[in-house]
Amino acid sequence: MTENHRVRIFDTTLRDGEQAAGINLNREEKLRIALQLAKMNVDVIEAGFPAASPGDFEAVKLIADTVKGPVIAGLARTRKEDIRSAAEAVRGAGRGRIHTFIATSPIHMEFKLKMTPEQVVEEVRQAVTYARSLVEDVEFSAEDASRSDVSFLAEVFRTAADCGAGTLNIPDTVGYAVPEEFGAFVRTVIEATDRPGVTWSVHCHNDLGMAVANSLAAVRAGAGQVECTVNGLGERAGNASLEEVVMGLRTRRDSYGCETSLDTTKLWGVSSMVSRMTGFPVPPNKAVVGSNAFAHEAGIHQHGVLCNRATYEIMNPEDVGAPGSRLVLGKHSGKHAFRQRVEEMGFSLSEEKITEAMALFKTLCDRKEIVTSEDLEAMINSEILAAAESRRIVLKTFLVQVGRGHGTATVTLEDDGREATDAATGNGPVDAAYRAVRRIVGIEPELENYSIRSVTEASDAIGEARVTLVFEGLRVSGRGASTDVIEASIRAYIDGINRLFQMAVSKGVRLYGKNVG
């Protein structure tokens, strides 16, 4: 295989992809997807199965009449009415193709077709000849080829080629093949058929999770076209994933010695569009276009990526149109990535405060599935910076109980290593907790304002509480954050009291009371 060998990409998202249970695209949605596929420079768009329904016929016709650039193909069984319908549907295309097929495996011929091998060969002869009389470009597929006898398959393909089929497709219809066997099988079929002028194609399903591997093995064996779908959509477990095939060939050009014509920077956008329109979400761990495809959480990985992206990324996110690499902060993250994120957010913390913030962050990771930048900002503001400015009293533990119309709270505070505990009742858990805090510290500030908001939208979001306290002519604000809104409220109140003591000291005002410690 030469270095400049080009593999054609035959996209069947709108035909085989739409056959996935639960997908039903209307013609306008199909057109929008087809237009994006054309912009991405796919070689062939299989727009549908015109004989399947009037709606499918109209969709194929609309795409053929509208979309410029790629070959527009319509699928057809070997029946004359199917072939005629496909020809009519693609007539308006700049380059139209009829893609006709019949099964060739013993099990399909016996139980589904109820035809002898000789009858199948004659069916192929008549179908391809008729299709070629209607259009210049005909593709023939031997359904379930991977479970067919090689000698018979070669005879069928020779018949199709001699009758005018320019593309011969070897499908692994039920995903039965494995890469080593399939590559050898494809090579044997090509050699046995002995028709040098045709384009050899493969169409692999993913029942055993090897559709992409089988497709690439076939390319190595001489296939010049790969049939695939965006996001790997299709019957049962789906088809070979277009984005994985394309990026496999591109990233390992040194191994396969070939390339495609696709503008890979559009892969991410097309994947997102197809996901939205079909209602089939892209798994986060999906290769190339999954949300985690360029995300790193492990500390070792994050450190490597920060030093040189190529340490853990074999593709650039920009090459597939992805937003970029993401360092996901989680319990596996290291200090290097944590410090960078904090600095990117505009905070300048000492090494001591970074260590303290990191410890709080790890605790938060055990309580929250995803820690966002907003969560991190709230934590640093309420726990680290507030502590740096005014920490005196620290919340150690609390317990609240709620009944009809009242609440009780037991709170333990610490000051300089000494602890004090008290309990109180109130008209709710927050009011009860505030009363307990006041009993411990020995002052009664007025709560002028109290508010709490969700920092993010998820159910495990951090709640950020804010209070305004007034006492002895002093007015301060307090802030606290936690995934527990009661805890956030208590922390905000204690933060306000700490600020009162700090302000009193700075202004030379003496606050009387027991005070912790």
- Tell me the C-alpha to C-alpha distance, in Å, between residue 414 and each of 24, 58, 437: 62, 75, 11
Tally of CB atoms within 10 A around 13: 30
DSSP string for 146-205: GGS-HHHHHHHHHHHHHTT-SEEEEEETTS---HHHHHHHHHHHHHHH--TTSEEEEEEB
List residues forming the annotated binding site for Mn(2+): 16, 203, 205, 239
pLDDT tens sequence across 38-96 = 999 999 999 999 999 999 999 999 999 999 999 999 999 999 999 999 999 999 999 99
393 vs 81: CA distance, rounded Å = 85
Instruction: Determine the longest span between alpha carbons in the chain, in angstroms.
Output: 106
Q: What percent of the chain has pLDDT over 70?
A: 86
State mean pLDDT over 306-312.
Answer: 68
Q: How sure is the predictor about 316, in pLDDT bands with cuts at 50, 70 and 90?
A: confident
- Tell me the C-alpha to C-alpha distance, in Å, between residue 182 and each of 172, 203, 210, 223, 458: 9, 12, 11, 11, 46
Burial of 366-383, coded b for 16+ CB within 10 Å and e otherwise, reads eebeebbebbbbbbbebb
Q: Enter the tokens of residue 458.
A: 């998820």
Q: What is the pLDDT of residue 514?
A: 42
183 vs 271: CA distance, rounded Å = 28
State mean pLDDT over 396-424.
Answer: 90
* In the predicted structure, residue 388 carries a pLDDT above the cut 50: no
State mean pLDDT over 256-279.
Answer: 93
Contact 156, 141 (CB under 8 A): no
Q: How sure is the predictor about 476, in pLDDT bands with cuts at 50, 70 and 90?
A: confident
421 closest CA partner among 431, 433, 404: 433
Q: What percent of the chain has pLDDT over 90?
A: 64
List residues forming the annotated binding site: 16, 203, 205, 239
For each of the domains in the chain, give its residue range(s) and CATH number, in order of start.
Answer: 5-278 (3.20.20.70), 295-367 (no CATH), 389-507 (3.30.160.270)
pLDDT tens sequence across 87-141 = 999 999 999 999 999 999 999 999 999 999 999 999 999 999 999 999 999 999 9
Contact 294, 310 (CB under 8 A): no
Q: What is the pLDDT of residue 382?
A: 62
Q: What is the pLDDT of residue 1?
A: 39
Q: Enter the tokens of residue 260.
A: 């495609």
DSSP state letter for 241: B
Contact 232, 211 (CB under 8 A): yes
